[in-house]
Amino acid sequence: MRRGWLCLTVILSVSLQACQAPEGTKAPDSPQGISSESETSAKGSPSAEDFGDIFITASIGDASNLIPYLSADSASADIAEMVFASLLTADKNLDLTPEIAESWEISSDQKTITFHLRKNVKWHDGQPCTAKDFLYQYEMMIHPDMPSGYKEDFLQVSRAEAPDDYTFKVTFKEPYAPALVRIGGMTGLPRHLLKNVKPADIIKSPLARKPVGNGAWRFVEWKDQTHIILESNPGHYDGKPMMARTITRVIPDTATQFLELKSGGIDMMGLQPLQYLKQTGSPEFSGNYAKYKYLASAYTYLGYNLKRPMFADKRVRQAIAAAIDKKELIDGVLMGLGQEAVGPYKPGTWAYKADTQSIKYNPTRARELLKEAGWADSDGDGMVDKNGKPFEFEIITNQGNAMRAKTAEIIQQRLKQVGVKVNIRIVEWSSFINNFINKRNFDVCLLGWTIGLDPDQYSIWHSSKTGEQELNFISYSNKEVDGILTAARKTFDREEREKLYYRFQDILADEQAYTFLYVPEALPIVSKRVRGIDPGPAGIAYNFNKWWIPKAEHKRPLMAQ
């Protein structure tokens, strides 16, 4: 599972999503609308001789570090959650299920969670994984010198303890609604390897580049901007994965990824809409690959750096929103494969407010709002200015994401029509995060967030979370929103939380600190050599550890030795 993390997306992740049947199959009737993979992929079970081969996928950007909670990008999280297991995970139906914790109890006052750990989990160096490793991770997360955007959940804990090697107990200061999702996402850290490292230096420790985990996959190699290699862990408590190795190749654009897919250089990728609709319908593709389509648990947005004076007036942000035609983006960028985003929640989920009054496309109103905010065309050149200074800013987005690049270009043209000049900068992913986002060195960012299992948005929107490495990197501050986010964490009453989150979405729609753009369809494609794919509300990758390739279809046997 994504362990309850909110992650900045390089491009669209293919995990933790609800999905439809691959083309050419009929989804069974069910109240959940869960579909199943073709018979050759979903059915059957591997034998010992099927172990081997190597599975290759691609990432637009390289990881930044592989220690859980110390990065906020999906490129890092996708690898880290293969190397590290968590206390709990999400099953096919997005229900929490045991992983390292074989069971757990919640106290009657809703404040204490007690996890009972499996006794056969080991770190990849052979040392036992115990409750002390989880206690150590907690102690590191609350340390003031620990550089993480995910501290907030741990700061709600009044006491954590390890009464014995296989019991981990966490008591919150008060009832905390996201508690089980967030604490259940803990992976532990190998205390025996890190105990002498200062918290501020953990991100620079050798384990950031060569992690020693406790999950189904062991780290082998990380070659910068080239690949990360993992291997099947023979000592995994739930049995070793049947694919001998996985390689995540860094291929910085989807056009090149697609060429690699066609030539057999990779086994899986997330398709672009054009690729999905126009370039993968041949008998060759349908015979060799299974395609999927489902609404992503992710959204794309414009985020305004509110420390920039030009964006301090919400009428300016509202004007920009009114100048953007979201339908044009969905039709022109997504080719119809997506929905308008009106807030930070996935359509159809309980926290999503379908009737949020989002700002509609209206260039006339955009000009009016700009004029009200003091921006007008004083010299007749077609561009608005204020005190002799033209309204000009830069949108920054990450390299390799063709949809974001095209989105930026369309927005650039629409804003030009209302007198605003937009420049576009496209930056390699790791530099984008480290040198621009983390350092607040941008005017406007075009980005995406994955959506976690719990609707809590405290880490992104609360005014206390604006520090370096924290997730409120636009420096948003609103006292009412602070109060809503705090109150929504303290109640387990879904109706009450729903009311609070509905109000939250109305405020965001009015203030436009983000201009929410669209929720795309996820479009993964996987080689039909792969068996064990069983799609459901959690997507296709939730059970990746159980995927396998029949020996007769191994392509890379020598690499698997």
What share of the chain in percent tops pLDDT 70?
92
CA distance 149 to 460: 9
pLDDT at 42: 58
H-helix or E-strand containing 511?
Answer: helix 494-511
Specify whether the CB–CB gap between 530 and 55 falls below 8 A. yes
Do 174 and 322 fall within a single domain? no
The CATH number given to whatever domain includes residue 186 is 3.90.76.10
**pLDDT value of residue 558:** 52
Residue 148 pLDDT grade (very low, low, confident, very high; cuts 50, 70, 90): confident
Is residue 246 within 8 A of residue 58, CB to CB? The reply is no
One domain, residues 197 and 338: no
Give the domain range for residue 160: 85-214
**How many residues are there in the chain?**
561
My answer on whether 191 and 313 are in the same domain is: no
Look at residue 28 in the predicted model and tell me its pLDDT. 33
Q: Tokens for 516, please give them.
A: 């929410």
Examine the fold and report which residue of 214, 239, 259 is the final residue of a domain before the chain moves on: 214
Burial of 207 (0-12, 13-18, 19+ CB in 10 A): buried
92 within some domain? yes
Would you state the pLDDT for residue 538?
84
- Asked, for residue 464, whether it belongs to a domain, the answer is yes
Q: Is the dihedral of CA 191, 197, 202, 207 positive or negative?
A: negative
Helical pair 314-323 and 402-416, crossing angle rounded to 10 deg:
110
Task: Judge whether residue 34 has pLDDT over 60.
Answer: no
Q: Do residues 104 and 209 share a domain?
A: yes
Hunting for tokens 């899986």 — which residue is that?
268
CA 561/CA 549 separation, integer angstroms:
15
In angstroms, rounded to a whole number, what is the distance separating the alpha carbons of residues 215 and 42? 23
Least confident of 8-17, 38-47, 257-266, 420-429: 8-17
What are the tens digits of pLDDT across the range 103-142? Answer: 999 999 999 999 999 999 999 999 999 999 999 999 999 9
301 beta partners: 447, 516
Same domain, 193 and 303: no
Assess whether pLDDT exceeds 60 at residue 221. yes
Q: Please write the tens of the pLDDT for every residue from 4-17.
A: 445 566 554 443 23
Where does 197-343 show beta strands of DSSP type E? 217-223, 227-232, 245-250, 268-270, 289-291, 294-295, 298-304, 338-340
Residue at which a domain ends, from 214, 237, 262: 214
Verify that 181 and 323 share a domain, yes or no.
no
CATH code of 359's domain: 3.10.105.10
Percent of the chain residues past pLDDT 90, beyond the cut: 81
Provide the token pair at 74: 């999906």
**Domain-embedded: residue 258:** no
Residue 34 forms part of a structural domain: no
- Average pLDDT of span 508-512: 98
* 8 A C-beta contact, residue 195 and residue 215: no
Residues 194 and 303 in one domain: no
Q: What is the pLDDT of residue 22?
A: 38
Give the three-class secondary structure for 334: coil
Q: How confident is the model at residue 509 (pLDDT cuts 50, 70, 90)?
A: very high
Contact between residue 535 and residue 25 where contact means Cβ atoms under 8 Å apart: no
Q: Could you tell me if 203 and 304 lie in one domain?
A: no
The answer to whether the CB of 247 falls within 8 A of the CB of 226 is no
The set of residues, in sequence order, having a beta carbon less than 8 Å from that of 381 and lying 6+ positions away, is none
Q: Cα(first)–Cα(last) distance of the chain, in Å?
A: 29
Residue 159 lies in a domain: yes
* Number of C-beta neighbours around residue 293 at 10 A: 18
pLDDT at 335 over 90: yes
pLDDT at residue 52, as a whole number: 92
9: tokens are 């997306």
What is the CA angle 116-122-128, rounded to 5? Answer: 75
Look-up of token digits 């010198």: 145
- Is residue 516 within 8 A of residue 301, CB to CB? The reply is yes
Q: Alpha carbon of 505 to those of 139, 176, 312, 457, 549: distances in Å? A: 34, 21, 20, 11, 45
- Contacts by 474-482 with C-beta closer than 8 Å and gap 24+? 474/303, 474/304, 474/305, 474/306, 474/445, 474/513, 474/514, 475/305, 475/306, 475/307, 475/440, 476/306, 476/513, 477/306, 478/507, 478/511, 480/507, 481/507, 481/508
Residue 166 lies inside a defined structural domain of this protein: yes
97 and 203 fall within a common domain: yes
Angstrom distances, CA of residue 481 to CA of 150, 341, 346, 390, 464: 19, 19, 20, 33, 12
Beta bridge partners of 339: 519
CA distance 63 to 76: 4
User: What pairs with residue 294 in β-bridges?
Assistant: 522
- pLDDT at residue 31 above 50? no
Mean pLDDT (the chain, rounded): 91
Number of domains in the chain: 2
215-228 in b/e form (b: 16+ CB < 10 A) is bbbbbeebeeeebb
